[in-house]
């Protein structure tokens, strides 16, 4: 293999490795009451997160959080990321590596049969 072909192969590996670095998870889908979604075990610890909160039914109050755990048993919001999803639909967390994650509806009230979905991408 000549030097140009080796360079092309190395560049392709770098591009594909970077594309696979981010992983997307549905923390919960169409939840209607306060509570936690199911725990998701990560293949490797991820430390940077962006989560989008979508809802229907126009709830009067909606507060969500992303929970993390190292052992899969004790979940906390180490990220201090409880947000009012009525005014800010994104949760952003940086620099807190965890092995397990789950989304949580802290509070939901009012509206007409509201349903909430939380989708996160971790790196």
Task: Give me the domains of the chain, ranges plus CATH numbers.
Answer: 23-122 (2.60.120.260)
Strands 61-69 and 98-109: antiparallel
Residue (of 87, 24, 34) closest to 65 by Cα position: 34
Residue scoring higher pLDDT (36 or 92) = 36
Q: Taking residues 25-42, report their average pLDDT.
A: 95
Please report the pLDDT score of residue 69 as a whole number: 92
Q: Which residues have CB under 8 Å from 110's CB, separation 6+?
A: 58, 59, 60, 61
Residue from 93, 104, 120, 84 nearest 34 by CA? 104
pLDDT tens digit string along 52-86?
999 999 999 998 989 999 999 999 886 567 777 77
């Amino acid at each position: 293999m000549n030097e140009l072909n080796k360079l092309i192969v190395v560049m392709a590996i770098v591009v594909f490795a970077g594309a696979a670095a981010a992983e997307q998870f549905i923390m919960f889908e169409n939840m209607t009451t306060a509570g936690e979604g199911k725990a998701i075990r990560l293949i490797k610890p991820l430390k940077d997160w962006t989560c989008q909160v979508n809802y229907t039914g126009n709830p009067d109050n909606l507060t969500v959080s992303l929970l993390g755990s190292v052992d899969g048993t004790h979940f906390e919001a180490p990220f201090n990321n409880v947000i009012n999803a009525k005014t800010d639909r994104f949760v952003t967390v940086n620099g807190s590596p965890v092995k397990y994650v789950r989304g949580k509806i802290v509070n939901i009230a009012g509206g007409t049969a509201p349903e909430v979905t939380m989708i996160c991408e971790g790196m």
